[in-house]
């Protein structure tokens, strides 16, 4: 069977599964649309959270970024996993105990202000729209690479599938669809990794294979990779090239951004009890770890396979002729995501550290995981599985983000501010229309993404971390934090971060280069993707000083904060 036909069958079957689940779990009330009726089992919610969390950035882009960035880009792993622990420990149980549908609703009620709620909606939309662009980029890349579609057509097909199951099922349909998508994506990610690890190192566990010897030469895998890329004139794969300050701030930005992302937080509103929120957070961490422990090995092995197949004879002197390039190169050249320029006209593609002479003019990092099975010569069914997994990762997170945007518009804007008397039926209709509008906007923005999927997502994390995370954290743990402080802090964090990003000329990766890069920093060594941590510090500082310079929150609000943090019955036990 031809690869294209097999890809089409596997992807078609998974899409049919998602749509079928949406019909089975379609929402019939606002409670089911916003929070799945608060009846999701903790283990299933953990799987759905894992799928919601492991986006196109995690599945498609992260290993590609690591493959070309090496040591410095390990910050993605530390920031995203550390941030999830932060979310599970500090925020999720308390927000579930508060018992609302959305993050802006929590902020509006906790800070007794519709203005605070409106600003939270704006912050949510800015962060979520930025994030969803990366998911739509992943959908377009997967379709264009494997289903003989243009990037634009693939984007449209993916948007239609999301529209069917997200608009119909709401959070209820999305939750159970994400459970299926988690199964698809984790199988699709780990099976090729096991094959490749066995081939290169003889170890079936990729995470251990990364630190094993190669089967052919008997030398440590990372040592061989360092040698291979240094022979091409580039820095060691395991060497630190970025500044410690920027790596620290970037990791911190990803951590607090994770804890401030509304589409992940709302997953904990779908379980019956606070204890279930804690349990599902633990299960989600287990499910996420399966991919995140594998990703560094996938990145390193992909880079090694990429160099070995493109330049099997070593660096410039014996570069392979263009007509002798492997089939996978020709497949990805057709998409425009891999391109060459024979500058000296010798019929060979030569790879130089000197950009003026370098003939590998474009290698989109987002193709690495998807192309990895082809590069390694794995069976056709494995390649088809990876396609389905990449699409599952992108679509699951896109649906969660669009759900967060839709809820903010229908519940926090229309229901809360514009028309409080709206009926439940009309609110449900408004939520579905909001979802359709959000999908259309995301598709349009996905046509011209600002960079690779992981980098676009990093910007979204910075925005969420700088604007929403401080307000949520101080709303839970500080009785003194008032509405004026929350409003001033969110505005300060959001505006400084967004302005820095847009002033940072080259706020996207430059596709012509062959390493993880960013424009020259404006402040010290802080890049645009790292500035979210600085924005959060500004948010905390402004919120603290404004709150202490203005009136205390009402007594009932301070009692509410106390009741969120203290376990039920704790006071009675202490009294005895």
What mean pLDDT is predicted for residues 438-448?
80
3-state SS string for 299-327: HHHHHHHHHHHHCCCCCHHHCCEHHHCCH
* Architecture of domain 3-304+375-566 in this structure: Up-down Bundle (1.20)
Q: Which residue has the tokens 């094959």?
A: 195
pLDDT value at residue 571: 43
- pLDDT tens for residues 5-26? 888 888 889 888 888 887 887 7
Please tell me which residue, 450 or 177, carries the higher pLDDT value: 177
Q: What angle do CA 79, 406, 28 make, to 5 degrees?
A: 120
Q: Read off the tokens for 290.
A: 């399966």
Query: What does the chain come to in residues?
Result: 576
pLDDT in tens, 214-224: 988 889 999 99
Residue 116: pLDDT band by 50, 70, 90 thresholds? very high
What is the pLDDT confidence band of residue 513, given thresholds at 50, 70 and 90? very low
> Is the pLDDT assigned to residue 240 strictly greater than 70?
yes
Both structure tokens of 10: 């596997």
Of 328, 331, 330, 309, the residue nearest 320 (C-alpha): 309
In terms of average pLDDT, the best of 247-251, 520-524, 545-549, 561-565 is 545-549
- pLDDT class for 118, splitting at 50, 70, 90? very high
How far apart are alpha carbons 535 and 498 in whole angstroms?
9
Q: Tell how many helices (H) and how many strands (E) occur in the chain.
A: 25, 2
Give bridge partners of residue 523 from the DSSP assignment: 526
- The conformation of residue 336, written as its DSSP 8-state character, comes to T
Burial class (CB in 10 A: 0-12, 13-18, 19+), 571: exposed
Residue 568: band (very low, low, confident or very high) from pLDDT cuts 50, 70, 90:
low
How far is the CA of 280 from the CAs of 4, 84, 392, 399, 407, in angstroms?
A: 38, 12, 21, 20, 22
Comparison of pLDDT for 106 and 308, the residue scoring more: 106
Least confident of 22-36, 261-275, 332-346: 332-346
pLDDT of 425 strictly over 90: no
What does DSSP assign to residue 363? E
- Cβ-Cβ contacts under 8 Å for 462 (sequence gap 6 or more): 253, 257, 497, 501, 528, 529, 530, 531, 532, 533, 535
Output phi, psi for 567, to 5 deg: -60, 150
What does the pLDDT read at residue 573? 37
Note the pLDDT of residue 320: 65
The structural domains of the chain, with segments of one domain joined by +, span 3-304+375-566
* Cβ atoms of residues 477 and 447 within 8 Å: no
The DSSP H or E segment spanning 216 is none
Q: Is the pLDDT of residue 352 over 60?
A: no
Whether 525 and 243 have beta carbons less than 8 Å apart is answered as: yes
Please check the confidence at residue 315 and state whether its pLDDT lies above 60.
Answer: no
* Higher per-residue confidence, 194 vs 407: 194
- Reference 238, options 70, 74, 62, 69; nearest CA is 70
Measured torsion, CA atoms of residues 262, 263, 268, 271, in degrees rounded to the nearest 10: 140
User: How is 158-177 classified by DSSP, letter by letter?
Assistant: HHHHHHHHHHHHHHHHHHHH
Residue for token pair 């090239």: 241
């Amino acid at each position: 069977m031809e690869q294209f036909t097999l890809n089409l069958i596997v992807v078609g079957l998974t899409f049919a599964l998602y749509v079928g689940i949406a019909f089975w779990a379609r929402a019939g009330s606002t409670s089911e649309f916003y929070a799945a009726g608060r009846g999701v089992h903790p283990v299933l919610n953990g799987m759905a959270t894992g799928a919601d969390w492991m986006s196109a950035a995690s599945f498609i882009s992260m290993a590609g970024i690591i493959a070309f960035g090496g040591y410095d880009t390990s910050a993605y792993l530390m920031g995203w996993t550390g941030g999830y622990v932060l979310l599970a420990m500090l925020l999720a149980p308390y927000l579930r105990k508060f018992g609302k549908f959305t993050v802006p609703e929590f902020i509006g009620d906790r800070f007794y202000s519709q203005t605070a709620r409106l600003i939270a909606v704006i912050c949510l939309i800015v962060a979520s729209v930025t994030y969803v662009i990366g998911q739509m980029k992943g959908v377009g890349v997967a379709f264009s690479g494997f289903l003989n579609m243009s990037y634009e057509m693939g984007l449209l097909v993916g948007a239609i599938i999301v529209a069917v199951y997200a608009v119909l099922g709401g959070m209820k349909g999305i939750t159970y669809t994400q459970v299926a998508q988690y199964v698809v994506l984790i199988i699709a990610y780990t099976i090729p990794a096991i094959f490749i690890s066995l081939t290169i190192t003889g170890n079936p566990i990729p995470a251990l294979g990364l630190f094993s010897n190669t089967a052919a030469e008997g030398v440590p895998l990372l040592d061989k990779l360092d040698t291979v890329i240094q022979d091409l004139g580039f820095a060691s794969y395991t060497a630190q090239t970025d500044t410690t300050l920027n790596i620290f701030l970037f990791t911190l930005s990803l951590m607090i951004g994770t804890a401030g992302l509304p589409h992940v937080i709302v997953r904990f509103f779908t379980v019956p009890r606070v204890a279930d929120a804690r349990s599902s957070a633990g299960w989600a961490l287990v499910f996420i770890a399966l991919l995140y422990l594998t990703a560094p090995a996938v990145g390193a092995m992909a880079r090694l396979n990429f160099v070995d197949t493109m330049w099997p004879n070593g660096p410039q002197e014996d570069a392979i002729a263009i007509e002798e390039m492997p089939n996978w190169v020709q497949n990805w050249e057709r998409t425009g995501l891999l391109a060459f320029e024979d500058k000296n006209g010798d019929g060979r593609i030569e790879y130089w550290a000197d950009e003026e002479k370098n003939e590998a003019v474009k290698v989109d990092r987002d193709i690495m995981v998807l192309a990895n099975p082809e590069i390694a010569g794995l069976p056709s069914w494995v390649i088809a599985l990876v396609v389905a997994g990449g699409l599952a990762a992108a679509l699951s997170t896109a649906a969660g983000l669009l759900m967060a945007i839709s809820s903010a518009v229908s519940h926090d804007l229309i229901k809360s501010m514009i028309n409080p008397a709206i009926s439940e039926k009309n609110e449900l209709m408004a939520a579905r229309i909001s979802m359709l509008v959000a999908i259309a906007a995301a598709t349009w923005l996905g046509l011209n993404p600002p960079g690779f999927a992981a980098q676009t997502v990093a910007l979204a994390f910075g925005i969420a971390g700088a604007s929403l995370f401080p307000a949520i954290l101080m709303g839970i743990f500080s009785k003194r934090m008032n509405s004026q402080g929350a409003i001033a802090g969110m505005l300060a964090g959001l505006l400084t971060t967004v302005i820095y990003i847009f002033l940072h000329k080259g706020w996207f990766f430059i596709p012509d280069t062959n390493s993880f890069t960013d424009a020259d920093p404006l402040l010290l060594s802080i890049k645009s993707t790292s500035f979210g941590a600085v924005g959060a510090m500004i948010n905390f500082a402004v919120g603290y000083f404004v709150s202490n310079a203005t009136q205390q929150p009402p007594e009932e609000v301070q009692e509410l904060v106390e009741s969120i943090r203290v376990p039920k019955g704790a006071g009675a036990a202490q009294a005895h």
